[in-house]
Every structure is written in C-alpha cells, then in structure tokens.
Amino acid sequence: MNRIRLLPEQVANQIAAGEVVERPASVVKELVENALDAQATAITAEIQAGGRSLIRITDNGLGMSRDDALLCLERHATSKIQTAHDLSSITTMGFRGEALPSIASVSRFTLTTREQEPATSEATQVVIHGGKLLEVQAAGAPPGTCAEVRHLFFNLPARRKFLRSEETERVHIQHYLTLAALAFPQVAFTFVQDQTTVWRMPALKAGDGSSRLTALEERMKLLHGGGQDLIRLDAKFSLPAFHEADRPASTAATLHVWGLMGAPGVSRATRDNQYLFVNRRPVENRGLNFALIEGYHTALMKGRFPVCCLFLEIDPGEVDVNVHPAKREVKFHSEKSVRQAVAQAVRQTLLQFHAPLPCRPPESPATQSASPRVGSKPFLPTQSPAAEPRDLPLAQPACPPQPPLASGLPIPPPAFAPASQNQSVSSGIQAKPPLPPGAIPPVSPAPFAPPPPLLSVPLRLVGVLGNLYVLLESDRGLVLLDQHAAHERVLYEQMLRRLEQGGASSQRLLLPETIELPPRDAQFVREQLPALTRLGVGLSEFGERTFLLDALPPFVHAAHPRQFVFDLLDELKAAGQDVNALRLGEQTIAKTVCRHAVKAHDPLAGPELEQLLQDLRQCAMPYTCPHGRPTLIEMSFRELEKKFGRIQ
C-alpha cells in the first residue's frame, strides 16, 4: 500500500487557508487588495461581530464575467501573472490566486460580480459553503464585485476558538483599512461596523509631487486628527547597478522616498505609528525600521520610536514580495543601499526643518520693539538677573551662512549616487540655504506650507522659572526652553565640529594595554584603524590578532581603557561600517557635555540667555538634546485659552 497520496482539493484549500487566512483581518486584506487590483475607485467594508459573523467588501471595479467568476475560485487561478518571469516585476497587490478559494473553503461565501466592460444587464452570483459549490445564478447588481464572507471558520472549530475578542479583531481590521486608505487616497473608503458607519472618506486628487503629499496629509487628518506634528519628506536616489544575465550592468534603479515624518521631538513608545509602504504595499522590514532610527539619531530619545508614513517607490524587479505567505515582508536586492537611502532622506529632512535663515540687514530698534506683546509686564524671579523683558531678534548668520553641522546627524558616505535631476528633500519650509557638500538639494517649496519652525520666529524673553525653564513669548504663544538641554545641544555640536575639522588630539596612557580579539573582530578593527586614529584612539597592530592601545582622547575619562575600546567597536559594528567616524565618540561626547552644560538652578543673566538662544539657533538639530529630549516646548494661545475656559 502506498504511503504517499494526493490530498483532496478541499483539504489542500483549508491548509492554504492556514497561511492566507489567519484572522478576519486577513480576509479583509485579501478582498480589498483584489478590489484595488480591479481598479476600484470606491470600496465599502462592512463587518459584524468583529468579522466573525460577516465580512462584506463591495467595490466598483472592473468586475468579472460568469466564466471568470467560477474560475477565480479555483486554486492558483489569477489574471495578474502568466509566467514565472512575471514574479520579478509584480505591480499588483495580489498575484498567487489563493485568496478566494482559501476563504471559500473556511466560510459561507457568496460572490456577486458584474463586468464594467462590456456592459451587461445581469450579474453572476456564486454561493460556496465550506469549499462546496452550492449555487450559480444570475443576479441584479451594479457593476463591480461584492464578496460576502459569513461565519468564518464555521467548519474548523479548532481555528475559530483561537480568534480573539470581537473588539480585538475589529481593531486589526480597522488597522489594515487605515493602511489601505493611506496608500490609496485616490480611492474612497467606507467602513461600517455592526451597521454603524465608522468613517466615510471621499476620494482625493493624488497626482504627483505636492498634490500627492497634500492628499496624504488630508487622509492622516481624517484618520488620526490634526494633532500630529508631521513634516514632508521627498527624495530620490539612484541605487547601484548589479549584474544579471538579462539586464545590462550599467542599468541603475531609482528609489523614490516620500511621505510624512515626525518633526524633531515627536516620538512614540512603540512602532504602532510607523506606516511603511513599498510600491503602495504595506510591509514590515527590520532594515527600514533600523534606517528610521539611524536617520533620527540624536533627535530621538532612547526607547522611543519615530512617527512616520513613508512610501518607497522602486523598480518591481528590485524587490521580492513573494518571501512571506501573507505578503507582509519584502526583500530588496540592494538591501544595504535602500537602508542607507532611507536614513539619509530622514536625516536631511530633519536638517532642513531648521535651516539657518538667509542673510538680511539687522532690524532697527523700532522694528524690534514692534514684536508682538500680550498682557502687561510679566512677573520675573527676583533671583534671576534677567529682570527686564527683551526681544530676541531672529538669528542673523554671517554672510555666507555657516552650513549645518554634518556630524550633528552623521551622514555616511552613501554606496549610491543621488539622482541628478529630480532628487529632492522638502520639508515644506520656505527659506532653504545652500546645503553642505554631498547633501540633497531641495526643490521649490510645495504650495502647502506648515507653520515655520519655532526658532525661525521672533522670541521675547519673559523670565526664568525655577532657574531651569526659560520663559519666552512668540506671536504664536508661550515657549519654554530647558537651559540644560539647550546648552547640551550647543556644546555637543561645537565639540563634534572641532573633531570634524581637525581631528581629536590624543592623551598617552601611562601603561599601554594589549587587546586580543577573535579573527573576525581583528579584521574589522584593522579596517577601522584610520577612523579610530582620527577620533584620538591610539590603537596599532601588535600581532595577528593583538592590538596595542597607548592613547585615548583627552575628553575621555575611562577607568578601564580596554572596555572603552570594546564599547566603541560595538557601537561601530551596530551602526555599520559606512557611518561617519565621529559616530564612534558621540556617546562619550554626549556624556561629557552633560557634565559641563549648565545645570538646573544655575542662574543665568539676561545676556547669557540671549547668547544661549542664538547659539541654539545656529545648531543643525536645535530641538533636541544629544539624548533626544526636547529643548523647547510650545503652548499656543489656543491651548492656553482652552485651559482658561475662554474657548471650548
């Protein structure tokens, strides 16, 4: 008797459903993707009991004929690919042809569809229960498709009992619909839960450039409200060419990174507010997650995560979307280059968020005295010498303006070349100075312009609270400055600039120490010796796997020099070999400036506070300290009026 035999079709479909249909949200995902592939411009999702009892997805897409309606319920039947070669250039959301038969095998499934072209007078309705075809008949329905899924997993009680509560399943469904609505703002979405409309979003005009970003902003407001402080990102890169039998070696792919990201100081405790899309497909990719962290760098506190809605557009041949059963993960051909490009795009956008203002004549006293003032003379702490309110004019950089400090957010030498004509990084601000060498030049500002950065508006010194928080007034409201965090940022960038310009000096150790490393680490250190020398670490080869440590930077006070070197090497390996050499000492520099910065309860005179604010304005990343904590907090007049009950 043969021990190997073919599985029945129904059993094979149920096994496939174990991969494709994990929960009700998986059903919604597959059906909505089919609607999007059918060029639908309006999609309605209805659920009951968290998707357990009913899921109904209705669209106005192309629809299907009677023959196609029957054929689409067969395994691996699809209109989206024809040959194995098509897998290298997938432009649709779905392509395997497993979703509908898998769903139909574990539910009571009804498919009603009618073609758009050629126009027909009747639709086709197919009814399947648990994978068994029960009925095929003509029906009346508008052009498009309606897929109705009832009693999911009714024939698999073991799977059904593992479903979570109705509320949990509803949250998963709403999360996917949020992703779809963000990825396709040109499509109208309606979400109905238990016969109650949760949202009804109209289709938006989403072309290219600023109109696409504007549409994305509108969708974000509809889905999350207007409270998120997001800035625009738009950059293009040329990825390195690679050799392939059917592709010329000189061909290089273009990567377009665009979307919205949190301004400096905006972060969350989890990655739940990170939306990443590759060719409009929502994805999970650890490399992209690390790229975001790398891009924010010192603008992010430890243990916090960026907020973003980023889209990567790349040649379909450069990305493999067939590496995960549910198509959640993707794999890039040039993984390292894509990661570096995303990090650089984020980094440059943050630098552009606060770019030094262009040169202009100094304001006259009359002009300065015209700064907006609200209320009478404020109360000032008696122990603070800053006893008189004063206007702090806008920063007036010398001509030409000093370029932003590259090492404040280290820019690695990219393994790719920026696209020459169309590349851009735009954060929506209007004043943009020349960028440092190697940076991405901005395009013309978009018609939509968010409020200017806080340090780009006039600020008037009001007083000091608790010898720590400096109270400032702008035409927008109240501004609080943490003098310790602000001084940390100023000292941090000044020290990095000195290291960048001339390298660090070294201080000899009284007793040199030997460091023995494993073969792989020894080779890694051998490649990084020039970077370590520039930092001021005196390390030289002393054998095949042994190195001699005889000097450290003067600002390092390490009780255990060998451990200090090990920590530096760990940081370099974690950041990547192409990261700026100054990254090696950033953590030590951050600790050093923390000790030397002004502390809480250190009284500062008015001129000292003015100078601190001016120095902060000249920083490349002035809105966070080196540890990612905010240096400035703003409370608008509207917020104050709400707190005092003047408005609702």
Dihedral sign, Cα of residue 342, residue 343, residue 344, residue 349: positive
258, 212 contact by CB (below 8 A)? yes
> What was the pLDDT predicted at 253?
83
Give the SS3 label for residue 497: helix
For residues 407 and 496, give the distance between their C-alpha atoms in angstroms, rounded to a whole number: 6
* Torsion from C-alpha of 581, 587, 592, 598, nearest 10 degrees: 120
Type and span of the H or E element at 595: helix 583-596
Looking at this protein, which amino acid is placed at residue 194? D
Name residues whose C-beta falls within 8 Å of residue 382's C-beta, 6 or more positions apart in sequence: none
For residues 283 and 287, give the distance between their C-alpha atoms in angstroms, rounded to a whole number: 11
Alpha-helix residue ranges (DSSP H) falling in 311-416: 335-353, 365-369
- Candidates 328, 326, 329; CA nearest to 102 is 326
536, 559 contact by CB (below 8 A)? no
Q: What is the pTM of this model?
A: 0.74
| Ordered strands of the 274-278 beta sheet | 281-282, 274-278, 308-313, 254-262, 230-238, 417-418
Exposure of 211 in the CB half-sphere (CA atoms within 13 A): 6
State the residue for tokens 């139909």. Answer: 104
State the residue for tokens 């054929």. Answer: 71
24, 169 contact by CB (below 8 A)? yes
Query: pLDDT, tens digit, for every residue of 572-626?
Result: 776 655 555 555 556 667 766 776 778 777 888 888 899 999 999 999 889 998 8
> What was the pLDDT predicted at 85?
67
State the residue for tokens 């399947």. Answer: 128
Name residues whose C-beta falls within 8 Å of residue 141's C-beta, 6 or more positions apart in sequence: 112, 113, 114, 123, 125
> What was the pLDDT predicted at 151?
95
Residue 503 CA, distance from chain mean position = 33
State the residue for tokens 């080869």. Answer: 541
Residue 208 CA, distance from chain mean position = 20
Query: Which residues pair with residue 256 across a beta bridge?
Result: 236, 313
Residues of the chain with pLDDT under 50: 243, 245, 250, 356-441, 443-448
> What was the pLDDT predicted at 426?
38
> What was the pLDDT predicted at 251?
63
> What was the pLDDT predicted at 380?
29
State the residue for tokens 């001129």. Answer: 607
> What was the pLDDT predicted at 470?
92
> What was the pLDDT predicted at 133?
93
636, 477 contact by CB (below 8 A)? yes
Phi and psi for 612 in degrees, rounded to 5?
A: -60, -45
> What was the pLDDT predicted at 420?
40
> What was the pLDDT predicted at 81?
67
For residues 150 and 140, give the distance between their C-alpha atoms in angstroms, rounded to a whole number: 20
> What was the pLDDT predicted at 552?
83
> What was the pLDDT predicted at 292?
92
Distances (CA, A) of 182 to 28, 214, 349: 16, 12, 21
For residues 201 and 187, give the distance between their C-alpha atoms in angstroms, rounded to a whole number: 9
Query: Which residues pair with residue 474 across a beta bridge?
Result: 477
> What was the pLDDT predicted at 435?
40
Name residues whose C-beta falls within 8 Å of residue 283's C-beta, 6 or more positions apart in sequence: 276, 277, 328, 329, 330
Q: Give the orientation angle of helix 561-575 with respect to helix 519-535, to 10 degrees.
A: 100
Query: Which residues pair with residue 193 across a beta bridge?
Result: 47, 196
Q: Give the orientation angle of helix 561-575 with respect to helix 583-596, to 10 degrees.
A: 120
The radius of gyration of the chain from alpha carbons, rounded to an integer in Å, stands at 30
Give the SS3 label for residue 545: coil
For residues 29 and 127, give the distance between their C-alpha atoms in angstroms, rounded to a whole number: 21
For residues 191 and 450, give the distance between their C-alpha atoms in angstroms, rounded to a whole number: 30
